[in-house]
Amino acid sequence: MHQTREQLDVQAKEILGKFSYDTITMKERMGIPAQEMPAQDPAVRVCNMEEVAIGYTENQVRVEALRCLQCKNRPCVQGCPVSIDIPGFIAKAAAGDFASAISILKDSSLLPSICGRVCPQEVQCQLTCTVGKAKKDIDQAVAIGRIERFCADWARENNAEPAMEIAPATGKKVAIVGSGPAGVTAAADVRRAGHEVVMFEALHKAGGVLVYGIPEFRLPKAIVQKELDNLTAMGVDIELDFLVGRTRKIHDLMDVDGFDAVFVGSGAGLPRFMGIPGENLVGVFSANEYLTRSNLMKAYDHENAQTPLFHSKKVAVFGGGNVAMDAARTAKRLGADEVYIVYRRTEEEMPARKEEVHHAKEEGIKFLMLHAPVEIVGDEKGKVAGVKLITCELGEPDASGRRRPVEIQGSEKIYDFDSVVVSIGNSSNPLIKQTTPEIEVNKWGNFIVDEETCQTSMKGVFAGGDIVLGAATVILAMGQGRKAAKAINDYLAAL
Amino acid sequence: MNKILYKKQLSQNVFSMVLEAPLIARERKPGQFIIVQLGGDFGERIPLTIADADAEKGTISLIIQAVGVTTLRLVNLNVGEYVANVLGPLGHPTPIKKYGKVIGVGGGIGVAPLHPVVQALKAIGNEVKIVIGARSKELIVMEKELRVIDPDLTIVTDDGSYGKKALVTEPLKEACETWKPDLAIAMGPPIMMKFCAATTRPFNVHTLVSLNTIMIDGTGMCGGCRVNVGDETKFVCVDGPDFDGHLVDWDNMMLRLGTYRAQEQEADHRCRVGLNK
Ligand SMILES: Cc1cc2nc3c(=O)[nH]c(=O)nc-3n(C[C@H](O)[C@H](O)[C@H](O)COP(=O)(O)OP(=O)(O)OC[C@H]3O[C@@H](n4cnc5c(N)ncnc54)[C@H](O)[C@@H]3O)c2cc1C
Ligand SMILES: Cc1cc2nc3c(=O)[nH]c(=O)nc-3n(C[C@H](O)[C@H](O)[C@H](O)COP(=O)(O)OP(=O)(O)OC[C@H]3O[C@@H](n4cnc5c(N)ncnc54)[C@H](O)[C@@H]3O)c2cc1C
Ligand code: SF4
Ligand code: FES
């Protein structure tokens, strides 16, 4: 049953009335029900691009925060890639002191409004949360991400973001390549130390995957823009339409343009295909193309957008990660009647955030598990007409610890589809490597960096985020951006 | 940056434009292109070849054929106005080497990208022969500039309104038979490049073509520009735009170019309706 935000708020208010923050007992905390995230009604939201999860009300966030036991050993903090003081900020939220909560959050994470929305909490902080463990149900863990999101949204809406202090000018110059979460974090931290910072972005809008990849219905672009505005307000110069390696090489930036250090956060922007027959038929897209058309170019807005979209009726999305979920849910919103996620393992092994899988199902996305594509079949006009899939079963665990899919010979069958979105991951873009041979990369093309400093094999050049980690997560990209910034600040201080 | 310094109409819907773009002008080499987006949230990104550049003045020149919404909007901008977003130079430069005898074939506004390439090839000592063709006389552009490179320039038109009434493949075939080029370069509509490649194949003349697939980012991120070349899938924006014409899967490429034809026609119609008001 779909409950409205108002209904959920009334229930929360009632609970809140029963307890006082100063006297509540452990037992009482454990007895409070987990607060459901208010969301747009599935039937309505598949017809719009607006955010699906609407966000807790103030009553709800305080109730959810009361569920936290304030554990002394802080297992949640160990699960957080950037070690946010989780019980600390939750205690403030429970008391309704959101200004203090946001300042604790911002000590460790530059982008809580984004991380609160897109982090895979169920395999990070919420996985290790005592409440979830005690109840033997991960869905019962304290909803750390939702509380984080509320605090960040509250700060933005009330203009209560903690001021960023900027050290006096040092006369040193740092170039940041790429404006995704790694670049944004590194830029902010380097700027705070008083260095001049110029961020170079290839596209005509900054934000990286947060802008071109992750859809509006999951991460409103106005939120990302606000973070970029904050960066500009700090004095970071953002240069769009600038492809480092082509418009200017890293050497030129350092030797001619006077940059003392460079941070490369160029992401994992090279879509992988499977190499099966039919992959270049009309109607086969990489998830990057499909999502970029819709998000960056706003092609979902038929009236205004100049970038066209392919009209699909029956779409097969290959893959089981966040990218696949985003593509599938976008296809539905763009008017497809039927959308299938085709994944070669089972739902349990799917790397997508749990919430996205849940939302996708509510929206009527169908899940075809244990099937692998072997061929895309075309019609006489070179358009997709169907997909040949083979059934799989799960075998022994592979290197990633997930059970390996084993194809069942002779089980191939052709299914009707008119479009295919390939969402099996991204590799790193080779451009910077090609034009800067000193930078060492591994066999997948990822930059090799020092684990502590994010320094590459080229002096003065640091790197972080997906270009180092392969397609990873926002929080890991941010974490590396921060690490690298610290190392850059140390490096410049010693120059 | 990106200020329009000069604009001239070359034929009914072909325009030449010079933009202030110092960084691109400094780095660009023959064969490279840019991506243009005309600002706002809704503008499309389209690729255009850098027809020429002046590194000292910091300018690049473009030859634009107005075929749809974005190209039409672009050519309607005036001198003194700005093109909101210009990214480049993109793609690999055409390899400028000593080949010996080179024949350059340009169809329609394909002569625009052909010009800097044959110019550079000639400059390092190649013997250069040029063939250009178009549907009719009004659509022949850059004749003067090309004549500087090849005074014996061959011109053909489909309707015979200028030069010889023929397709470009005819003089190309003749040249293969009698002049025996070491390299052919064909630039123009896909169908023309396809037949140029078919023409040179029996003579074993290595043939470079410059592909004009649909693009979005131009940086290798979307894969929308992919084509089959030999047994491989290539991204035109980062692996090209030049490829061996004998290895390109032309039929697939042309089908892919038509992916959005229905939507483009609808948008183009809307756009022209707006302009006529
Ligand atoms: C569709 C999708 C959904 C996702 N969902 C989630 C999620 O729910 N949760 C999560 O944690 N993670 C998610 N991810 C992964 C996450 O977005 C990435 O791990 C993260 O964005 C990586 O950040 P980054 O800063 O390294 O690079 P990016 O965000 O990729 O940004 C790199 C930027 O650099 C620019 N660039 C590249 N090369 C150059 C150059 N040579 N010169 C100038 N600029 C350049 C690019 O244009 C881009 O804007 C998702 C990814 C995708 C694609
Ligand atoms: C590397 C490269 C270099 C190019 N250089 C030039 C140039 O120097 N001058 C120039 O005028 N054009 C050039 N083009 C083609 C130009 O990009 C297209 O004409 C443009 O994208 C059309 O956009 P539109 O919105 O005006 O028209 P749309 O409404 O999008 O399309 C109108 C018509 O053009 C066709 N079309 C769409 N996209 C392309 C495309 N990328 N290539 C060819 N046909 C297309 C459509 O099928 C349709 O019939 C180049 C293309 C590439 C890939
Ligand atoms: S583990 Fe859970 S209950 Fe314990 S402090 Fe962290 S969030 Fe609170
Ligand atoms: S245009 Fe996107 S990869 Fe080539």
Verify whether ligand 3 is closer than 6 Å to residue A68 (CB atom): yes
> Does residue B231 sit in the same domain as residue B152?
yes
Indicate if the pLDDT at residue A487 is higher than 80: yes
A27, A35, A70: residue to mutate for ligand 3 pocket, most atoms within 8 A of CB: A70
Flag whether B268 is in a domain. no
Chain B contacts of A270, Cβ < 8 Å? 220-221
Confidence band of B274 (pLDDT split at 50, 70, 90): very low
pLDDT tens by residue, A187-234: 999 999 999 999 999 999 999 999 999 999 999 999 999 999 999 999
Indicate if the pLDDT at residue A297 is higher than 90: no
> Does residue B76 sit in the same domain as residue B119?
no
> Does residue B116 sit in the same domain as residue B31?
no
Flag whether B223 is in a domain. yes
Q: Sort residue B46 into left (φ over 0), alpha (ψ -120 to 50) or beta.
A: beta
The residue whose two tokens read 């109730």 is A63
- Rounded average pLDDT over B192-220: 96
What CATH number did the domain enclosing B206 receive?
3.40.50.80
Domains of chain A: 5-158 (1.10.1060.10), 173-269+428-494 (3.50.50.60), 271-422 (3.50.50.60)
Can you tell me the distance from the alpha carbon of A232 to that of A220, in angstroms, rounded to the nearest whole number? Answer: 19
A141-145: which pairs have CB atoms within 8 A and are 24 or more residues apart?
A142/A64, A142/A65, A142/A67, A142/A68, A142/A76, A142/A90, A143/A34, A143/A35, A143/A37, A143/A64, A144/A76, A144/A86, A144/A90, A145/A115, A145/A116, A145/A117, A145/A119, A145/A121
> Considering its fold, how many domains does chain B have in total?
2
Confidence band of A20 (pLDDT split at 50, 70, 90): confident
> Does residue B39 sit in the same domain as residue B163?
no
Can you tell me the distance from the alpha carbon of A83 to that of B262, in angstroms, rounded to the nearest whole number? Answer: 52
B65 labeled part of a ligand binding site? yes
Confidence at residue B273, expressed as pLDDT on a 0 to 100 scale: 43
**How many Cβ pairs closer than 8 A exist between chain A and B?**
124
Confidence at residue B267, expressed as pLDDT on a 0 to 100 scale: 63
Can you tell me the distance from the alpha carbon of B85 to that of A230, in angstroms, rounded to the nearest whole number? Answer: 23
Which of the listed residues B90, B125, B152 is the one where a domain comes to its end? B90
- Helix %, strand %, coil % of chain B (to 5): 35, 30, 35
Give the domain extent around B154: 101-258
Flag whether B275 is in a domain. no
The DSSP code for A405 is E
DSSP A411-475: --EEEE-SEEEE-S-EE---HHHHH-TTS-B-TTSPBP--TTT-B-SSTTEEE-THHHHSS--HH
Which of the listed residues B67, B90, B113 is the one where a domain comes to its end? B90
pLDDT tens by residue, A399-427: 878 888 999 999 999 999 999 999 999 99
Q: How many CA atoms lie within 13 A of B93 on its CB side?
A: 15
Q: How many residues does chain B have?
A: 277
pLDDT tens by residue, A461-477: 999 999 999 989 999 99
Can you tell me the distance from the alpha carbon of B38 to that of A267, in angstroms, rounded to the nearest whole number? Answer: 25
Indicate if the pLDDT at residue A246 is higher than 90: yes
- Rounded average pLDDT over A246-263: 97
Confidence band of B268 (pLDDT split at 50, 70, 90): low
Confidence at residue A309, expressed as pLDDT on a 0 to 100 scale: 82
In order of A171, A189, A190, A233, A493, the CA distances from A194 in angstroms are: 8, 9, 7, 14, 11
SS3 assignment for B94-111: CCCCCCCEEEEEEEHHHH
- Ligand 1 atom having least distance to the Cα of A432: 41
Give, rounded to a whole angstrom, the gap between the first and last alpha carbons of chain A: 62
pLDDT tens by residue, A348-382: 999 999 999 999 999 999 999 999 999 999 999 89
Flag whether B263 is in a domain. no
Which of the listed residues B39, B68, B90 is the one where a domain comes to its end? B90
pLDDT tens by residue, A134-173: 999 999 999 999 999 999 999 999 999 888 889 999 999 9
What CATH number did the domain enclosing B36 receive?
2.40.30.10
Residues 6+ positions from B128 with CB-CB distance below 8 Å:
B102, B103, B104, B118, B121, B122, B149, B150
Indicate if the pLDDT at residue B193 is higher than 90: yes
Confidence band of B277 (pLDDT split at 50, 70, 90): very low
Confidence band of B275 (pLDDT split at 50, 70, 90): very low
> Does residue B127 sit in the same domain as residue B208?
yes
- Rounded average pLDDT over A163-184: 95
Q: Where is average pLDDT lowest: A309-313, A377-381, B118-122, B125-129? A: A309-313
Predicted-complex ipTM score? 0.91
Yes or no: say if A456 and A354 are a contact pair by the CB < 8 Å rule. Answer: no
> Does residue B42 sit in the same domain as residue B125?
no
Chain B contacts of A289, Cβ < 8 Å? 216, 222-224
Prediction pTM value? 0.94
> Does residue B129 sit in the same domain as residue B78?
no
The CA distance from A98 to the nearest CA of chain B, in Å, is: 34
Flag whether B210 is in a domain. yes
What is the radius of gyration, based on Cα positions, of chain A?
A: 23
